[in-house]
Amino acid sequence: MKSFLTICLIVLAVIAVMPSAQGQSGFLPGERVLFEAHNCYPYNGLWNNRIDKALDAGFPLAIEMDVMWYVNKETNEGRLVVAHSEPLTGEEPTLKEYFFERVRPYMENALASEDKKDWPLITLNINDIRSNSPEAFAEVWALTETYQSWLCTAPKNATPDSLAPMNIKPLLILSGSGRHEMKQFYDAIPEDGNLRIFGSGNPKENADNFRRWINYSWSAVEPEGQSKATAWNEEKEKRLRGLVKDAHEHSYWIRFYSLNGHPVTATARLGLSPGYNFGDLDTVKVRWEKAKAASVDFIATDQIEEAKN
């Protein structure tokens, strides 16, 4: 009897220290908070150093980029560029040169290191592929082929509702879950293949093997919006914590966008949206701290330096 009890205690002890149901821990929903460099790319040839500021803020972090498909009218050749809106000039940097090659030293150093505690070091969110051209989605996937040694992956499996454990690497890529994303990033992958991009989901449904995160405007917490926000109160706190709790119970990472606090007069000079601005640093710091305390997984802001320091 004593031997049997001893074995039972050992088994229970092992279970107690086992990772989560996905067989992993440290980066799963609710386990860490990352600030995300929102719209981290140039607009109209300006603010080219946004990615440098993000990387200088330190790891781990998240970075968001919008991409578009530019077609040269003379040659009819297309390329994937980081850009916010049309018209495109052809001077926009490609996603490959602006992001992937820029982070190469960090990725290679991480792979050569034995220190994996902060992996993935960077979460790249390409939620907005601002194009209906299938070529844009195909090129995103082709880039993940080129840089796949850096990327978190998961086996597709034959059971899409089951979240397969990830093979963790220094870079995690997220996307939306529209028709083109589903077709290129999930449906086209053979059952014995690996997912390299993970889409957004429906908060009313559980996460699945492809859809692993959900996206909220901050207006879900403060309906009046950032620019008209009143003092923080218990009602806002309850909404925030309720959304986070629900997301994590459905096995999602949760992201809120976008929390800025800069002088109104500096909006145009900084190339920022006035709708995301609380108007001063002290006011936004309250929201950053509340989001962190509630275990929001990704807090998007255009002030990554201030948020992380």
pLDDT tens digits along 242-284: 999 999 999 999 999 999 999 999 999 999 999 999 999 999 9
12 found inside a domain? no
- Output the domain CATH number for residue 249: 3.20.20
Asked, for residue 164, whether it belongs to a domain, the answer is: yes
Asked if residue 251 belongs to a domain, the reply is: yes
What pLDDT, on the 0 to 100 scale, is given for residue 24? 66
Within-domain flag for 270: yes
168-221: pLDDT as tens digits: 999 999 999 999 999 999 999 999 999 999 999 999 999 999 999 999 999 999
Angle at 149 between CA 32 and CA 69, to 5 degrees: 85
Among 2-16, 84-98, 162-176, 248-262, the minimum mean pLDDT is found in 2-16
Q: 109 lies in a domain?
A: yes
Could you tell me the residue range of the domain that residue 122 belongs to?
29-308
Residue 5 lies in a domain: no
What is the count of structural domains for the chain?
Answer: 1
Query: What does the pLDDT read at residue 37?
Result: 98
Does residue 189 sit within a domain?
A: yes
Q: Does any domain span residue 16?
A: no
Task: Kindly tell me if the per-residue pLDDT of 126 is higher than 70.
Answer: yes
pTM of the model: 0.91
